């Protein structure tokens, strides 16, 4: 059932042109991926939350109106209280303006502003991760497509060996064992070719889903992306620590929690507000009522709630500080490991190039010797396998080095 859904999903996607660059894949993914859209909405949500907190600085004005069809009024007359039933209405306005609350509101507003900043940073961090992910998928497509070409050539070579062995067997120069062994290698090569094609299709399908567009069957990819090198290896750790989104988010979380702790402490002291009201009443008598003054609110007892919330906010700030230190150590360790990996892959690439040159030279010699009966089919197949393994190993080394470089770029917060 999952395969059916996946197929239907791909059929619904528009078709990508035959030429497809990595930059185009990144652009389409950042534009179409639902996770990106979700985080963009969260940014808007955080902006609304900031406006909500900031509104506490502004005057709060309420208008009210009341109409009673019947109401009992009490009034004294001749030393006695009398009552009368009549209708009545009133309408008025009430204004409240915060004067001072011991930095409670300002701390909340600043914390909300940091929340907005954190939402923006989270969006940028996600974009950087998507760039890394798309680059990985694109380069995996390149590697698997090249692997298909290598496997196809390997199959053709072994089919030619088999046909040659059959011809030599018919001439009495080779035995049935030669032909059978080459035929077996043909079947193995076919299976390996199909596995390579499947791996390529998987990478292509996943990338298409990220982009929101179907990729053409005969798409042309940019093979030069595998030759990516790390140009400047100095100060990489400092660059990562200075621009890593996750670390910056953790740092701003510390500031936010400190502000929230400050706000909780300030709530102990209450607030001073200016209030004013104007009401017109039309009951037994018609008159206006006015009020203007200052109100002091001090919480005397909350059952320990305010103290507990202040302590909770303080601990949250301490946790965020420890998380920052932990994240910093994690980044240093990761960067160090990636740099060592890149250094190793540089050497591996050079070794694989030399290995491929030697393997191709050996294969050329053994091909000639086999025709002359001076080498066995085992030696020929071994030489062919050496060439195949060297080509695939070189592709893998290029891919792994490129992935390590992209990982560093992701940690540095690079989006394009």
pLDDT digits (tens, 9 = 90+) for 217-269: 889 999 999 988 887 778 899 999 999 999 999 999 999 999 999 998 888 88
Give the pLDDT mean for 342-357.
94
Residue 144 CA to residue 204 CA, distance in Å, equals 10
User: Do 127 and 36 meet the contact criterion of CB atoms below 8 Å apart?
Assistant: yes
Give the pLDDT mean for 168-194.
86
Q: What is the pLDDT of residue 374?
A: 65
Q: What is the pLDDT of residue 284?
A: 78
**Pick the residue with more confidence: 213 or 169?**
213
Q: What is the pLDDT of residue 63?
A: 96
**Pick the residue with more confidence: 12 or 214?**
214
Q: What is the pLDDT of residue 379?
A: 83
Residues 6+ apart with CB under 8 A from 240: 331, 335, 408, 411, 412
Q: pLDDT at residue 334 above 80?
A: yes
Q: pLDDT category, 13, cuts 50, 70, 90?
A: low
**Pick the residue with more confidence: 411 or 231?**
411
Q: pLDDT at residue 178 above 50?
A: yes
Q: Which domains are assigned to the chain?
A: 2-63+102-270+302-411 (1.20.1600.10)
Residue 238 CA to residue 227 CA, distance in Å, equals 25
Give the pLDDT mean for 146-175.
86
Cβ burial of 216 (10 Å; 0-12, 13-18, 19+) is middle
Kindly state the percentage of the chain with pLDDT values over 70: 94
Residue 11 CA to residue 141 CA, distance in Å, equals 20
Residues 6+ apart with CB under 8 A from 252: 114, 117, 118, 121
pLDDT digits (tens, 9 = 90+) for 46-92: 999 999 999 999 999 999 999 989 888 777 777 777 788 888 899 99
Q: pLDDT at residue 37 above 50?
A: yes
Query: What's the mean pLDDT when you consider all of the chain?
Result: 88
Q: DSSP letter for 102, please.
A: T
Give the pLDDT mean for 263-278.
91
Q: pLDDT at residue 11 above 50?
A: no
Q: pLDDT at residue 118 above 70?
A: yes
Q: For the whole model, what pTM was predicted?
A: 0.83
Sign of CA dihedral 38, 44, 47, 52: negative
**Pick the residue with more confidence: 314 or 143?**
143
Q: Is 80 helix (H, G, I), strand (E, B) or coil?
A: strand
pLDDT digits (tens, 9 = 90+) for 251-262: 999 999 999 999
Give the pLDDT mean for 180-199.
92
């Amino acid at each position: 059932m999952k395969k059916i859904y996946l197929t239907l999903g791909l059929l619904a996607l528009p078709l990508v042109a035959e030429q497809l660059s990595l930059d185009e894949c990144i652009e389409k993914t950042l534009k179409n991926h639902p996770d990106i859209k979700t985080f963009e909405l969260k940014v808007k949500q955080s902006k609304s939350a900031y406006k909500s907190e900031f509104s506490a600085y502004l005057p709060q004005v309420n208008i009210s109106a009341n109409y009673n069809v019947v109401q009992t009024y009490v009034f004294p007359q001749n030393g006695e209280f009398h009552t009368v039933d009549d209708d009545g209405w009133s309408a008025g306005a009430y204004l409240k303006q915060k004067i001072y609350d011991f930095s409670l509101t300002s701390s909340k507003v600043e914390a909300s502003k940091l929340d907005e900043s954190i939402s923006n940073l989270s969006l940028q961090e996600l974009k950087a991760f998507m760039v890394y992910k798309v680059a990985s998928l694109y380069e995996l497509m390149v590697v698997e497509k090249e692997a298909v070409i290598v496997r196809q050539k390997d199959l053709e070579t072994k089919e030619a060996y088999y046909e040659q062995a059959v011809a030599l067997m018919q001439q009495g120069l080779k035995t049935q064992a030669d032909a059978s062994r080459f035929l077996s290698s043909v079947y193995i090569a076919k299976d390996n070719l199909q596995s390579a094609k499947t791996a390529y299709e998987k990478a292509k399908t996943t990338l298409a889903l990220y982009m929101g567009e179907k990729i053409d069957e005969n798409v042309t990819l940019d093979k030069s992306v595998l030759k990516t090198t790390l140009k400047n290896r100095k100060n990489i750790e400092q660059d990562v620590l200075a621009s890593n989104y996750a670390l910056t988010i953790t740092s701003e979380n510390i500031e936010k929690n400190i502000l929230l702790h400050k706000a909780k402490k300030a709530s102990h002291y209450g607030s001073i507000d200016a209030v004013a009201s104007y009401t017109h009443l039309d009951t037994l008598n018609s008159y206006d009522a006015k009020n203007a003054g200052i109100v002091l609110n001090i919480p005397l007892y909350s059952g320990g709630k305010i103290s507990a919330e202040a302590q909770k906010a303080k601990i949250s700030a301490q946790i965020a500080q420890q998380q920052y230190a932990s994240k910093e150590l994690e980044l240093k360790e990761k960067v160090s490991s990636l740099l060592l990996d890149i250094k190793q892959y540089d050497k591996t690439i050079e070794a694989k190039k030399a290995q491929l040159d030697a393997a191709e030279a050996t294969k050329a010699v053994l091909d000639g010797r086999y025709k002359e009966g001076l080498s066995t089919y085992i030696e020929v197949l071994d030489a062919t396998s050496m060439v195949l393994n060297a080509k695939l190993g070189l592709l893998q080394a290029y891919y792994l080095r490129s992935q390590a470089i992209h990982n560093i770029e992701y940690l540095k917060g690079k989006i394009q």
